[in-house]
Amino acid sequence: MGKVLTSDYPANKMMRFVIPLLAGFLLMAAEAAANDWADVATPAPGPPQSIGFYTAGCLQGAQALPLDGPGYEAIRISRNRYWGQPVTVDFITTLAEKMRAAGQAHLYIGDLGQPRGGPAPSGHASHQVGLDADIWFERQPGARRAPAERENPRLRSLLLPNDSGIDDTVFSQQHVLLLRTAAEMPNLDRMFVNKWIKQRICNTATGNRSWLRKLVPWYGHDEHFHVRLYCPPGNPQCQPQAAYSDDDGCGEALESWFRKAPPTPPPPGPPKPYRPKLPAACQAVLNAR
């Protein structure tokens, strides 16, 4: 090692040694930073406040979704991502009650957010301010699973394996009722669904179609749909998302998705940690005791 640091060591050889070493240190630092928010197991004290944007923010005063409730059960509990704004918890429990009253099997509830929001080391770019939640299309009538058995439940896609359309052996009108019920609930900004799901509902929905505008196409979202709520009143640091068309979204806005190139597959190896620039107030949320 002493030879590497001498002034007469060839510069090109020195750089071949130093650059990979520095790159390794930087990668470790980024990975450590990506885990900062995931490593905090409890919410920050104080009244509920969403700070920043859905993909670059944090959450103070988070509330935990009960892991079991009438009409639903939380899955993948070990992630500790069942925290959100009280309005988000209320949205889920109310939707589940509505589905139970309609005679549907209990819902699988996936990720809301981490105890203090913020970027997660894997899985999401959003879900950072406590106003996002994943609800799975899969239905499992019968007894609930024990919490320890909920890490890897069967979660079928509503699409054909070759991504050429809807799989009618899985898709049913129960899914349409679920989406419509969620879309018509207060506080909902939008829901992300796969383009094929949006297209099927656009082609078959009758009566009042105003709720269809809430279904926004996005990549993936064939096994679950993603609800996103408005910034609650009294949250001045919460940044709302831009508005979208007032029509049903079944025209050019949808058709353009079928002309898009498929997303580029990620490079092999562990995913690069997502590190957005967060509002300055989030540092206090992360460090609060």
Full-model pTM = 0.86
Mean pLDDT of 169-195: 97
Specify if 139 maps to a domain: yes
Measured CA distances, 4 to 13, 20, 96, 262 (Å): 9, 14, 64, 47
Specify if 228 maps to a domain: yes
Q: What is the CATH number of the domain that holds 79?
A: 3.30.1380.10
CA distance linking residue 115 with residue 26, whole number of Å: 26
CA distance linking residue 201 with residue 172, whole number of Å: 11
Per residue in 75-102, pLDDT (tens digit) is 999 999 999 999 999 999 999 999 999 9
Write the CB contacts of 42 (distance below 8 Å, at least 6 apart in sequence). Answer: 115
Compute the mean pLDDT over every residue in the chain, rounded to the nearest whole number: 88
Specify if 2 maps to a domain: no
Per residue in 183-214, pLDDT (tens digit) is 999 999 999 999 999 999 999 999 999 999 99
Looking at residue 34, what is its pLDDT? 55
- Greater confidence, 263 or 221? 221
Specify if 24 maps to a domain: no
Specify if 17 maps to a domain: no
Per residue in 36-88, pLDDT (tens digit) is 999 999 999 999 999 999 999 999 999 999 999 999 999 999 999 999 999 99
Specify if 158 maps to a domain: yes
Looking at residue 49, what is its pLDDT? 98
Closest by Cα among 219, 174, 216 to 199: 216
Per residue in 104-155, pLDDT (tens digit) is 999 999 999 999 999 998 888 999 999 999 999 998 777 888 877 889 888 9
Q: How far apart are the first and last CA of the chain?
A: 43
Measured CA distances, 210 to 11, 23, 180, 221 (Å): 67, 52, 10, 21
Q: Is the pLDDT of residue 2 over 60?
A: no
Looking at residue 26, what is its pLDDT? 38
- Secondary structure string (H, E, C) spanning 43-107: CCCCCCEEEEECCEEEEECCEECCCEECCEEECCHHHCCCEECHHHHHHHHHHHHHHHHCCCCCE
Its domain, for residue 95, covers: 37-261+272-287
Q: Is the pLDDT of residue 12 over 50?
A: no
Per residue in 220-244, pLDDT (tens digit) is 999 999 999 999 999 999 999 998 8
Write the CB contacts of 85 (distance below 8 Å, at least 6 apart in sequence). Answer: 48, 50, 59, 62, 63, 129, 130, 131, 229, 232
Per the structure, the count of domains in the chain is 1
Specify if 181 maps to a domain: yes
- Secondary structure string (H, E, C) spanning 93-149: HHHHHHHHHCCCCCEEECCCECCCCCCCCCCCCCCCCCCEEEEECCCCCCCCCCHHH
Could you tell me the two tokens for 43? 């919410």
User: Which residues are registered as beta bridge partners of 225?
Assistant: 135
Looking at residue 145, what is its pLDDT? 81
Strand order, beta sheet including 132-136: 68-69, 72-74, 107-109, 132-136, 224-229, 188-193, 215-217
